[in-house]
């Protein structure tokens, strides 16, 4: 299936500091593209892949699982490590979950983690019915475009495939067990008004990681897809400041030196 216009992966070859960005479940790189481009303007090397099963039609996502999504990001991280001196991982929602797993698994190969409204648990009674429900019902209503800003829209599926949702539930359990292995500096940005992921998920992440260098930022003007919402600039500014503090080769203006 052809990729939907706007959902294409994004890459920028910049300096010796790299950032791997991870989009969310049923979403696409479009939700993080403005953030990626702003990082690229500072001469950071940026990778924003399209996860398997995403960016085409929801039926394609039905044929994939969390191992496929994680494997794509793992490959991208290794490629960034081959050409960069330092690499940071960042993600929105499930992308934040996957970014935390990359940090847990790769240790010192990851210099820092930035997560926006990270997901940690599947809530509600439907979650417990998923093992059976997924065999009876192919999909349910979509979760895309939880955005406060008028006119802003996320390019994501209008249906959630339940086989993939069941796999997502398994991912949450795996990553929750691995959170104590996350020791890197962590920047967590969350929206108090989020209609997809509740505040309890961010609280759980913060309580489970072993990171000592932790900063939590509230995105008061945004809903779940904060990267396309009123606080999009705040996310860019906070992440650039975070990376600049931890990467000596990034100048005061956020420009990565070297080639």
| Residue 195, token pair as written in the block | 């209609």
Q: CA-CA distance, 164 to 66, in Å (whole number)?
A: 8
The pLDDT, as a whole number, for residue 251 is 57
Catalytic residue among 146, 194, 201, 231: 194
Active site residue 194: yes
The pLDDT, as a whole number, for residue 141 is 84
The low-confidence residues of the chain, meaning pLDDT below 50, are 252-254, 257-259
b/e per residue, 237-251, with b = 16+ CB within 10 A?
A: ebbbebbbebbeebe
Catalytic residue among 224, 229, 230, 231: 224
* Helices and strands, counts by H and E, the chain: 8, 9
Q: Look at the chain and count its residues.
A: 259
The pLDDT, as a whole number, for residue 184 is 98
* Residue 25, marked binder: yes
b/e per residue, 10-48, with b = 16+ CB within 10 A?
A: bebebbbbbbbbbbbbbbbbbbbbebbebbbebbbbbbb
Catalytic residue among 31, 93, 211, 239: 93
The pLDDT, as a whole number, for residue 259 is 40
The pLDDT, as a whole number, for residue 51 is 98
The pLDDT, as a whole number, for residue 241 is 97
The pLDDT, as a whole number, for residue 149 is 97
Active site residue 202: no
């Amino acid at each position: 299936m052809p990729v939907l216009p706007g959902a294409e992966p994004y890459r920028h070859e910049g300096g010796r500091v790299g950032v791997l960005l991870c989009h969310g479940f049923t979403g696409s790189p479009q939700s993080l593209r403005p953030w990626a481009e702003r990082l690229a303007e500072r001469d950071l090397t940026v990778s924003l892949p399209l996860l398997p099963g995403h960016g085409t039609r929801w039926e394609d996502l039905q044929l994939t699982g969390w191992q496929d999504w994680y494997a794509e990001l793992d490959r991208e991280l290794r490629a960034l490590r081959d050409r960069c001196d330092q690499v940071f991982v960042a993600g929105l929602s499930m992308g934040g979950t996957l970014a935390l797993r990359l940090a847990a698994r790769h240790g010192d190969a990851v210099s820092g983690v930035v997560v926006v409204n990270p997901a940690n648990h599947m809530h509600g009674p439907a979650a417990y019915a998923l093992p059976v429900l997924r065999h009876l019902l192919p999909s349910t209503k979509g979760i895309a475009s939880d955005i406060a800003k008028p006119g802003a829209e996320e390019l994501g599926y209008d249906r959630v495939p339940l086989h993939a949702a069941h796999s997502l539930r398994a991912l949450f359990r795996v990553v929750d067990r691995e959170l104590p292995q996350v020791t890197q500096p962590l920047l967590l940005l969350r929206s108090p008004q989020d209609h997809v992921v509740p505040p309890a998920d961010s609280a759980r992440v913060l309580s489970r990681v072993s990171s000592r260098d932790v900063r939590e930022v509230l995105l008061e003007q945004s809903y779940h897809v904060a990267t396309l919402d009123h606080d999009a600039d705040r996310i860019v500014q906070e992440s650039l400041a975070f990376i600049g503090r931890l990467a000596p080769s990034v100048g005061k203006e956020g420009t990565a030196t070297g080639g």
